[in-house]
């Protein structure tokens, strides 16, 4: 079998070492005679898997003791509803910063539960920039401030963490969690779908400060209550056990690579290589403001859009997979998450060079 380079935005590439480890344990986990998928989530064996995964994530991200780590289902999109349900309290409004498709979706869903103040938006630039701190119209009485640090579809990443005073800051880090160091204490809550930098689809990680674990609004389903889930150690019902286990293997792999600081350096290197080639090419362009280009998701446009289909066909033949841009924006997109090796970026650049020479 020949592995190819996977540039998918999610479900995304997983480290080969993790896949081999999971393969070796698939039928017999540590001499127990069964797979992790077949274990009771309440068995001592599985509880040890879950506890180690949480411990390793806490170490990787330096998560303070006054934060709970929840392993949940429903994808990051389910959090769009759960956040206002759990965090609105007696407040009537929340602030949202709109910098792309995912923050727009979060806003649309939140409006079903709470009054939304769009405190800043880059819609007028077609989401190729982010509003500066001094442009944000923040309400000191808001229940929380929500933003998306990295917008997967359009390849925009904040170059700063918004200052929100005493109002809790909530961040959808689905596509950039663990890609570089962050100060968790600056956030009230961080959430992330696993399928980009953590593990397979089906698992969502929530990191939430203890004081925000309050009773949700009336008639909130029990399984949507952060407090109820935290009180049950993320086992209020049967969790996505295999996804949790695989996430734990990814955390171990990250530690073996040198942790988040090592990923930060590697991600800088990969992104700088790809952007440098694009910027020095007369065949490819990137539409995003240089200051806020994503290190995780690199969109690019061909000088001749009529060649898009041929580019994708030849890229697939060359072993470079899932380079099509999101259906809403077109063009190309290379997602270069933690598990995508530097060699994949080198191979992509070489292919892009050859394609430009042949078809330019």
159 as an active site residue: the answer is no
166 as an active site residue: the answer is no
Question: What six digits make up the tokens of 267?
Answer: 């991600």
Residues 221 and 272 in one domain: no
Give the model's pLDDT for residue 312.
97
Domain tally, the chain:
2
Active-site residue (options: 29, 95, 102, 244): 102
Taking a C-beta distance cutoff of 8 angstroms, is the pair 245, 36 a contact? Answer: yes
Closest CA to 142 of 72, 94, 204: 94
Residues 354 and 245 in one domain: no
Provide the 10 A C-beta neighbour count for residue 324: 19
Length of the chain: 360
Give the Cα separation of 170 and 145 in Å (integer): 6
Give the Cα separation of 149 and 72 in Å (integer): 21
Residue 2 counted as domain residue:
no
pTM above 0.75, yes or no: yes
Active-site residue (options: 172, 244, 253, 270): 172
Residue 224 counted as domain residue:
yes
Specify the CATH number for the domain of residue 187. 3.40.640.10
Residues 112 and 160 in one domain: yes
- DSSP for 244-301, please give it: HHHHHHHHHHHHHHTHHHHHHHHHHHHHHHHHHHHHT-SSEE--S-GGGB-SSEEEEE
Residues 274 and 149 in one domain: no
Give the Cα separation of 315 and 301 in Å (integer): 15
Adjacent-strand bridge partners of 333: 299
309 as an active site residue: the answer is no
From first to last of its 360 residues, the chain has per-residue pLDDT tens of 689 999 999 999 999 999 999 999 999 999 999 999 999 999 999 999 999 999 999 999 999 999 999 999 999 999 999 999 999 988 889 999 999 999 999 999 999 999 999 999 999 999 999 999 999 999 999 999 999 999 999 999 999 999 999 999 999 999 999 999 999 999 999 999 999 999 999 999 999 999 999 999 999 999 999 999 999 999 999 999 999 999 999 999 999 999 999 999 999 999 999 999 999 999 999 999 999 999 999 999 999 999 999 999 999 999 999 999 988 788 999 999 999 999 999 999 999 999 999 998
Active-site residue (options: 56, 196, 253, 270): 196
Residues 208 and 285 in one domain: no
Give the model's pLDDT for residue 90.
87
Residues 309 and 211 in one domain: no
Residues 308 and 274 in one domain: yes
Full domain range(s) for residue 295: 258-359
């Amino acid at each position: 079998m020949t592995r190819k380079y996977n540039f998918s935005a999610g479900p995304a590439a997983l480290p080969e070492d993790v896949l081999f480890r999971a393969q070796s344990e698939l039928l017999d986990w540590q001499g127990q005679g069964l797979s992790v998928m077949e274990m009771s989530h309440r068995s001592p064996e599985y509880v040890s898997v879950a506890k180690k995964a949480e411990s390793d994530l806490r170490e990787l991200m330096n998560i303070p003791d006054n934060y709970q780590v929840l392993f949940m289902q429903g994808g990051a999109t389910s959090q769009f509803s759960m956040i206002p349900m759990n965090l609105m309290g007696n407040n009537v409004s929340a602030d949202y910063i709109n910098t792309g498709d995912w923050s727009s979706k979060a806003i649309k869903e939140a409006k079903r539960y709470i009054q939304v103040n769009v405190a800043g938006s880059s819609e007028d630039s077609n989401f190729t920039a982010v509003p500066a701190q001094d442009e944000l119209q923040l309400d000191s009485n808001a229940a929380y401030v929500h933003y998306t640090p990295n917008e997967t579809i359009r390849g925009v990443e904040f170059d700063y963490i918004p200052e929100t005073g005493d109002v809790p800051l909530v961040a959808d880090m689905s596509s950039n969690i663990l890609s570089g160091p962050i100060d968790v204490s600056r956030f009230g809550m961080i959430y992330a779908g696993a399928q980009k930098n953590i593990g397979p689809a089906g698992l969502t990680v929530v990191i939430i400060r203890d004081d925000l674990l309050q009773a949700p609004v009336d008639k909130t389903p029990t399984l949507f209550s952060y407090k109820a889930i935290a009180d049950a150690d993320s086992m209020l019902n049967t969790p996505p056990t295999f996804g949790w286990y695989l996430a734990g293997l990814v955390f171990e792999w990250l530690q073996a690579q040198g942790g988040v600081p090592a990923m930060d350096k590697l991600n800088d290197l990969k992104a700088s290589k790809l952007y440098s080639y694009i910027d020095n090419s007369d065949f490819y362009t990137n539409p995003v403001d240089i200051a806020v280009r994503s290190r995780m998701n690199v969109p690019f446009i061909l000088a001749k859009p009529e060649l898009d289909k041929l580019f994708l066909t030849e890229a697939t033949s060359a072993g470079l997979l899932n380079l099509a841009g999101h259906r809403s924006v077109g063009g190309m997109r290379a997602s270069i998450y933690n598990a995508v090796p530097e060699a994949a970026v080198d191979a992509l650049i070489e292919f892009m060079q050859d394609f430009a020479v042949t078809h330019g």
